[in-house]
């Protein structure tokens, strides 16, 4: 299997062979900052010339493109050799061959956004045994398989923000549905679980959650799932889509259907993708954060781990460049910031969250 690896402005091809089983759908590797070969400089306790590799959930996802833009920016600031690799699909096992390849390459800092919290663990443990620092970002693995988890904002905050936006539009009664990413996605499942708990605990939320469906973070499948929801539940009052792919596809379907303006749509979306649906009245509000900050903070956390200034223990603190100082919470959790809520009135203030 052939991979493309770029070093600085001089790309070169390298033939690598997998011992791993399974088929890799796609791969993109690129590097920046440090010089050729991916050889680490500095000694123990130093991050000079270190190698860092990002393995997101999949490719062809604008949200991930934004995340990786922040990762590249930080890697350049830190003088790291940067690489990224991912499959085209978000299958539970799809990332494993990419992790194994980075183990073979001797990557010093491995940042992964798992599609499944457990499937990647054996490969991550192999990487750790080889000396790599393991960070999960955006979505988490089992706690014992990594050193840190960089999360966008709190699970409870993401859940509450979406429910509040829905309540503001339809009140506390009626049929609602959730259109998520993949059935195994750790972050989406955590948000859904938190939303269900908050609905059960609230005296105001008397919604009937009639269905949870999965678009697999695929635009076409998400569009079809949205269409299917309205066919199956014509009295649906609202849809929550906690995925940027899902909410954009659902908005596109609603915008040309008889349900435009009749069915509320909230969730997590990119301002650049969702602005047209705010402008035409398909959507009244949605939420997210700045994805580039997730990638940026992950790279700086890797530096601190590699230099040994933190171990991932609760209370550890580290510097994250332009984002300031951060403190590690319980179970190695680091929260990037607060949930941002977008409306027609403020959407133009966030045009920098684009791709």
Question: 35 CB contacts (<8 Å, ≥6 apart)?
Answer: 7, 8, 49, 81
pLDDT (0 to 100) of residue 61: 84
What are the φ/ψ torsions at residue 253 (nearest 5 degrees)? -65, -50
* Angle at alpha carbon of residue 154, lines to 163 and 75, rounded to 5°: 130
pLDDT (0 to 100) of residue 355: 62
Burial classification of residue 224, based on how many CB atoms lie within 10 Å of its CB (0-12 exposed, 13-18 middle, 19 or more buried) = middle
pLDDT (0 to 100) of residue 59: 81
* pTM of model > 0.85: no
The whole-number mean pLDDT for each consecutive block of 10 residues of the chain, a chain of 355 residues, reads 30 30 39 38 70 91 92 98 90 91 95 94 95 96 97 94 97 98 92 97 98 95 98 97 97 97 97 95 96 97 97 98 98 96 94 75
Of the candidates 191, 239, 206, 244, the one whose C-alpha atom is nearest the C-alpha of residue 65 is 244
pLDDT (0 to 100) of residue 73: 97
């Amino acid at each position: 299997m052939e991979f493309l690896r770029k070093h600085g402005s001089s790309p070169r091809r390298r033939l690598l062979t997998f011992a791993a089983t399974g088929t890799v759908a796609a791969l993109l590797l690129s590097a920046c900052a440090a010089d050729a070969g991916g050889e680490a400089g500095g000694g123990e306790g130093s991050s000079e010339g270190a190698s860092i590799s990002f393995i997101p959930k999949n490719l062809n996802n604008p949200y991930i493109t934004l995340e990786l833009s922040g990762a590249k920016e930080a890697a350049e600031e830190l003088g790291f050799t940067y690489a990224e690799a991912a499959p085209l699909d978000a299958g539970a096992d799809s990332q494993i061959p990419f992790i194994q390849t980075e183990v073979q390459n001797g990557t010093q800092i491995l940042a992964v956004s798992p599609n499944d919290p457990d499937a990647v663990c054996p490969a991550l443990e192999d990487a750790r045994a080889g000396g790599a620092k393991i960070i999960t970002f955006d979505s988490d693995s089992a706690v014992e398989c990594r050193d840190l988890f960089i999360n966008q904002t709190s699970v409870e905050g993401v859940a509450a923000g979406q429910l509040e936006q829905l309540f503001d539009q339809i009140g506390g009664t009626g049929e609602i549905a959730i259109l998520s990413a993949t059935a195994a996605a750790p972050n989406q499942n955590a948000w859904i679980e938190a939303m269900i708990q908050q609905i059960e605990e609230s005296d105001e939320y008397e919604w009937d959650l009639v269905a949870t469906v999965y678009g697999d973070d695929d635009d076409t499948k998400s569009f079809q799932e949205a269409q299917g929801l309205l066919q199956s539940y014509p009295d649906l009052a609202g849809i929550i889509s906690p995925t940027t792919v899902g909410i954009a596809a659902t908005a596109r379907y609603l915008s040309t259907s008889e349900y435009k303006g009749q069915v509320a749509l909230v969730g997590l979306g990119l301002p650049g993708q969702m602005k047209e649906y705010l402008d035409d009245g398909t959507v009244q509000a949605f939420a997210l954060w700045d994805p580039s900050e997730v990638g940026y903070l992950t790279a700086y956390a890797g530096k601190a781990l590699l230099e040994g200034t933190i171990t991932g223990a609760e209370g550890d603190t580290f510097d994250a460049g332009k984002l300031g100082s951060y403190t590690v919470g319980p179970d190695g959790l680091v929260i990037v910031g607060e949930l941002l809520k977008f409306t027609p009135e403020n959407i133009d203030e966030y045009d920098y969250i684009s791709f």
